[in-house]
Amino acid sequence: MNFETIKIGVDGPLAVVIINREPQLNALSGTVMRELTAAAEMLDGDDNVRVIALTGAGEKAFVAGADISEMQSLEPAQAQAFAEQGGRLGTAIERSSKPWIAAVNGFALGGGCEVALCCDFIYAAENAKFGQPEVKLGVIPGFGGTQRLARRVGIAKAKELCFTGDMINAQEALRIGLADAVFPATELSAKVKELAGRIAANGPLAVAACKRIIDQGQSMSLDEALALEQRTFGQMFATTDQREGMSAFLAKPRRAAQFKGQ
């Protein structure tokens, strides 16, 4: 597919999606969100891709927010439609069968923080900044920030960030659980690739199943979630990957499994 505002590169099993609007600090316009959603759906169907990383062009911003120039004159119904478009993007990332890593290389504010929250992991450069500053514009987060942020860092801290609009640095994001790891900017790409490699070496059907049942289980009772886990565990034994993984483990000498996602 040809994209106007994003670029996609593939490095072995890792696909890297770059939001390519550096002069606009990679702000989320309607076009960016449509293209990111299409890319997420396309990559989800690519069997050669096992992990997806999302980052922003340049050194200043991951995504500095939604495109305010595009939002400024929206009527209420149009604004809701814009938020729903952001919601579709978040759902496409969150429900992807592939793990997503947000490589936050600078500002992740407003919609940028919200998109990062949709990813399975948030790796940040030391210069990264996070925040939900929408109240400073007289509005609220519209792409999931009030909900996903609370689920990740707790209700009180989410209220503090959303009520004040304060921006926090990478170390504070790490301390409260918003970021999973922080690295020097020059090491961020390599650390993301390293994590992707460790994930990609495993059975892709098993990784996808783990992602699905962990996420689904959050809205279930513990008994329901455990039953889902048990059913899914059993289903794994109908796969070629299970037979390959266990055969490789029991081989003398033990060998690396060659998973095919079947």
Active site residue ranges: 114, 134
Residue pair 60/25 in contact (Cβ under 8 Å)? The answer is yes
Rounded Cα distance, 213 and 226, in Å: 9
- Amino acid identity, residue 180? D
Contact by Cβ (8 Å): 38, 90: no
Q: Give me 125's structure tokens.
A: 């450069």
DSSP-derived 3-state class of residue 109:
strand
Dihedral angle sign, alpha carbons of residues 214, 158, 54, 94: positive
DSSP H/E element including 19: strand 14-19
How far does the chain reach from its first CA to its final CA, in angstroms?
A: 26
Rounded CA gap, 59 and 98, in Å? Answer: 26
Question: Residue 52 pairs with which residues in a beta bridge?
Answer: 15, 100
Omega cis (within 30) before 184: no
> In this structure, are strands 167-169 and 107-109 parallel, antiparallel, or unpaired?
unpaired
Amino acid at 89: L
